Structure 1
Amino acid sequence: MHVEKPINPWLRQALELGPPILFFLAYMRFQDVTWTIGGRDYDGFILVTAGFVPLLLLSMAVLWKLTGKVSRLQVFTAVMVIVFGGLTVWLNDERFFKMKTTLVYGFFAVTLGIGLLRGQGWLKVLMGEMLPMSDRGWLILSRRLAMAFAAMAVANEAVWRTQSTEFWVTFETFGLPAFLFVAFMSQAKLIERESLSAGGDDPDDQGGAA
C-alpha cells in the first residue's frame, strides 16, 4: 500500500485552498475589465477562469510531489475543472464553469447513492485509511453525505441561475465549502461511536439509523 508522505498542514491547506481563494480575489479585481484577444471580447470571469485551470493543476502537481499521493476526488475535480473551464474559455460562456460545480457535487451524490443501493458505504474506499470505522458507520456516513452533496448541487444550480456572477463566485468559494465542512464535522459523534478503536466494528449490521 502506498504511504503518503507527511507535509506541513499549513502548506497542505495553502495548496488545496489557495487556487479557489486566488480565483475569488482575481475575479473581484478584474470582474469589470474586458480584454480583446484575437478580435473577441473576454470579460474578467473568462480570463480569470483561464488562469485558474493551470493554477489548480500546478498546486496539485506540487502536492503530489511533496506527498507522493493525490486523491481520486482531487483528480476527478481537476478533470472537471479542465473540461468545463476549457469550454468556458473556448466558447466564451461562463455558464459552463458554473455548471461544473453542480455536476461535481451531483456526481458525488449519485455515486454514493449507487453504493447505498448496493448496501455499501463507498466513502470507505476514499477515506478508510483516515477514519477506521465499522461498515455500519461508513454506510450511515455515506447516506448523510450523499444528501449533503445533493443539497449542494441543487443549491449551486439555483444560485448560478438566479443570482449575479459576483454572488455566485462568493457562494462557490466560501458558502459551499463552509456547508460541507459543517456537514462533515457534525458527524463527529457518529465517527467516534463507530470507530474501530471504540469497538464499533459490526460487519453483520449494515443498517443503522440515518
Structure 2
Amino acid sequence: MTTETSQMPDTSKPGSTEPKVNPWLRASLEYGPIIAFFVGYMFVRNMSFTVGGREYEGFLAVTAGFIPLQAICTFFLWRVTGKLSAIQIMTVVLVAVMGGISIWLNDERFIKMKPTILYVFFFVVLGFGLLRGQSYLRVVMEHTMPMTDEGWMILTRRVAFFFAALALANEAIWRTMSTDAWVNFKTFGLPALLFLFFMTQSGLFSKYSLNQADEAKS
C-alpha cells in the first residue's frame, strides 16, 4: 500500500514539453490504488481466506489484490504522462517485492516495512548528495520551483530529515499499534504530513526563488 507515488515531482528535464493529462485521470491512477486498498481492507479486515490450503487474514488478501493494481496503475500513468519519477518506480518495485514476500511467508510485517525502506533509501540518496555538496532534489524539482543554490541545499536537508522522520514514524506505528492504526496512518496521516511539510516551506520558496534573487540584484 502506498501514497508515495505522487509525493515528489517527475524527473522530466527543464523546458521539456509535458503531455496534457486529464487531472481526474491522473489523480485516479495515483490515488486509486491506496483508496481501493483502504476500502477493501475495511470490508475484509475481520475475515480470513483459504487459498491452496493456506489461510490468509483479510489484510494479506487485500495486499494480494493491491500489488497488481499498483503495477497496472503505474503502467498506465507512464503511458499517459510519458514518464515516471524515481519515487514512483521505487514504490511499485517495493510493493511487488515486499508485498510478495508478505504473501509468500503469510506475514504482514514485510509490506508494513515497505514505507520505511523507501524513506530510508531517499534519506540516504539525498544525504549522500549533501555530503558531496550537491542537491539531488534539485535535479528532479528545479523546473517546478526555480531557486538559488543556497535555497536548494536548505530544502534538500529539510526533505532528507523529513524522510528520516517518516521512516521512524512508520516503524513506531506498525510495531506498536494495530493494523487498523497503520492503515489509517498510511491512508490519511502521511498525505496530511506531506501537505503540512511543504506548506511550511513556502517561506523558503519565496526567500530563495530566482525571481527574488533577480529583484535583489536589480
Fold match, TM over 0.5?
yes
Is 1:186 the counterpart of 2:200 in the alignment? yes
Question: Aligned residue for 1:208?
Answer: none
> Greater CA deviation, 129-138 or 192-201?
192-201
Q: 2:28 aligns with which of 8, 14, 28?
A: 14
**Aligned partners of 1:39, 1:31: CA distance in 2, in Å?**
20
> Greater CA deviation, 129-138 or 95-104?
129-138
**Shift of residue 78, structure 1, vs aligned partner:** 1.0
Question: Aligned residue for 2:45?
Answer: 31
Question: Aligned residue for 2:124?
Answer: 110
Q: 1:39-188 alignment to 2 at 5 Å?
A: 39-188=53-202
**Aligned partners of 2:122, 2:198: CA distance in 1, in Å?**
14
**Shift of residue 135, structure 1, vs aligned partner:** 1.5
**Shift of residue 27, structure 1, vs aligned partner:** 0.6
SS at match of 2:50: strand
**Aligned partners of 1:11, 1:148: CA distance in 2, in Å?**
29
**Aligned partners of 1:184, 1:111: CA distance in 2, in Å?**
20
Are the equivalent residues in 2 in contact too, given 1:109–1:149 (CA < 8 A)?
A: yes
SS at match of 1:36: strand
**Aligned partners of 1:21, 1:127: CA distance in 2, in Å?**
27
Equivalent AA in structure 2 for residue 153 of structure 1: A
**Shift of residue 184, structure 1, vs aligned partner:** 1.4
> Greater CA deviation, 1-10 or 62-71?
1-10
**Shift of residue 3, structure 1, vs aligned partner:** 3.2
Runs of 4+ in 1 over 4 A off after TM superposition: none
Are the equivalent residues in 2 in contact too, given 1:133–1:194 (CA < 8 A)?
A: yes
Equivalent AA in structure 1 for residue 20 of structure 2: P
Seq. identity, %: 54
Are the equivalent residues in 2 in contact too, given 1:133–1:195 (CA < 8 A)?
A: yes
**Aligned partners of 1:158, 1:96: CA distance in 2, in Å?**
14
**Aligned partners of 1:135, 1:94: CA distance in 2, in Å?**
43
Question: Aligned residue for 1:207?
Answer: none
**Shift of residue 190, structure 1, vs aligned partner:** 0.9
**Aligned partners of 1:155, 1:190: CA distance in 2, in Å?**
25
With the length of structure 2 as denominator, give the TM-score of the two structures: 0.87
SS at match of 1:199: helix
**Aligned partners of 2:119, 2:19: CA distance in 1, in Å?**
28
Are the equivalent residues in 2 in contact too, given 1:145–1:184 (CA < 8 A)?
A: no
**Shift of residue 200, structure 1, vs aligned partner:** 6.2
**Aligned partners of 2:95, 2:113: CA distance in 1, in Å?**
10
**Aligned partners of 1:197, 1:64: CA distance in 2, in Å?**
32
Question: Aligned residue for 2:8?
Answer: none
When the two chains are superposed, the root-mean-square deviation of aligned CA atoms in Å is 1.5
Are the equivalent residues in 2 in contact too, given 1:134–1:200 (CA < 8 A)?
A: no
Number of equivalenced pairs: 201
